[in-house]
Amino acid sequence: MYNVQESVEQHYKIYELTDPATNSWVKVAPERGGIIFSYGVQGEELLYLNKETFYNKEKNVRGGIPILFPISGQLSTGTFEWEGHTYFMDNHGFARNASWEVIGQEMNNRASLTIRLTSNEQTKLFYPFDFTVLFTYVLEGGKLTIKQEYNNQGNQPMPIYAGFHPYFKTGEKNLSYETDATKYYDYNDDKVKQFTGSIDLTNLKEAVVFLDSNHPSISFGSPGGKKRIKLSYGELFKYIVLWTESENEFICVEPWMAKTDELNRKEELVMINGNESLKTEFSIELEK
């Protein structure tokens, strides 16, 4: 029977979604950026987590599935201009360090948790828009789905290019990827390269990004190497970014709506019209 349980862990309120039939779970810390910090299937943890960064609110969490909103990536100067004003924005936006509110949960035929982030005077210092973002984390049959709703509550169009930053637990840095992409951009030497089935991230400090995928899914080896992890996502997520740190056992496979620094380029911004909303999904599962 599906279940959602609440507990307190080192001052964080934790919500755990469980599916005993598949021995799977999802653990969420809403006040710590709404992050999923643990996701396991068939008794096996799929995510990496640096616990020191998780429990230290002065640090960005290294691990889990950080939420990237309203931007993915960096701004080249740490700033962007909008309608004649200059705004500062941290890497990957502010949602991953914000406190999200739990507004609903479900345990009938699946386990789900809905959380909400709403604009306030503090967010408007960095991003001058009225918004409400709803995420519903769903665990069903071992599959994790993140349903997203981005609401523009103002009258003017609102730019976003959201994303996710999943840290998958693995010591292997040279993985094969099943994707229809044929090219990727390597930020280490600023070159476009042909994708031939695998990418070795072992000695790469900066990320690489798949450029020309049309089919919204990608799969790659799981931590134990016996099965493969499949990511599926809405068509708004045009890019998959790959990144790692050589000294740590993870690889990040990240769906983004636009490439880094897009708020300055303004070439492929996702615009939500005034008083309208945008819905999309992102899911993770072990391939059968």
What is the rounded CA–CA span in Å between residue 49 and residue 158?
Answer: 33
Nearest alpha-carbon partner for 65 in 140, 153, 157, 135: 135
Nearest alpha-carbon partner for 242 in 276, 275, 283, 195: 195
Structure confidence at residue 226 (pLDDT): 73
Question: Which pTM does this prediction carry?
Answer: 0.97
Tokens of 267: 């070439």
Q: Which residues of 137-169 are buried (b: 16+ CB within 10 A; e: fewer)?
A: bbbbebbbbbbbebbbeeeeebbbbbbbbbbbb
Tokens of 62: 């290294």
Residues near 189 by beta carbon (within 8 Å), at least 6 away in sequence? none
- How far separated are the first and last CA of the chain, in Å rounded? 22
CATH, domain range 3-286? 2.70.98.10
How many helices (H) and strands (E) would you count in the chain? 3, 26
The torsion of the CA quartet 235, 238, 242, 243, rounded to 10 degrees, works out to -110
HSE toward the beta carbon, residue 235, CA cutoff 13 A: 2
Tokens of 249: 């056992």
What is the rounded CA–CA span in Å between residue 178 and residue 240?
Answer: 12
DSSP β-ladder status, 67-68 and 44-45: unpaired
The torsion of the CA quartet 195, 199, 203, 209, rounded to 10 degrees, works out to 60
pLDDT digit string (tens) for the chain, length 288 residues: 889 999 998 889 999 999 999 999 999 999 999 999 999 999 999 999 999 999 999 999 999 999 999 999 999 999 999 999 999 999 999 999 999 999 999 999 999 999 999 999 999 999 999 999 999 999 999 999 999 999 999 999 999 999 999 999 999 999 999 999 999 999 999 999 999 999 999 999 999 999 999 999 999 987 666 789 999 999 999 999 999 999 999 999 999 999 999 999 999 999 999 999 999 999 999 987
DSSP symbol at 47: B
User: Residue 25 carries which side chain, given as an amino acid letter?
Assistant: W
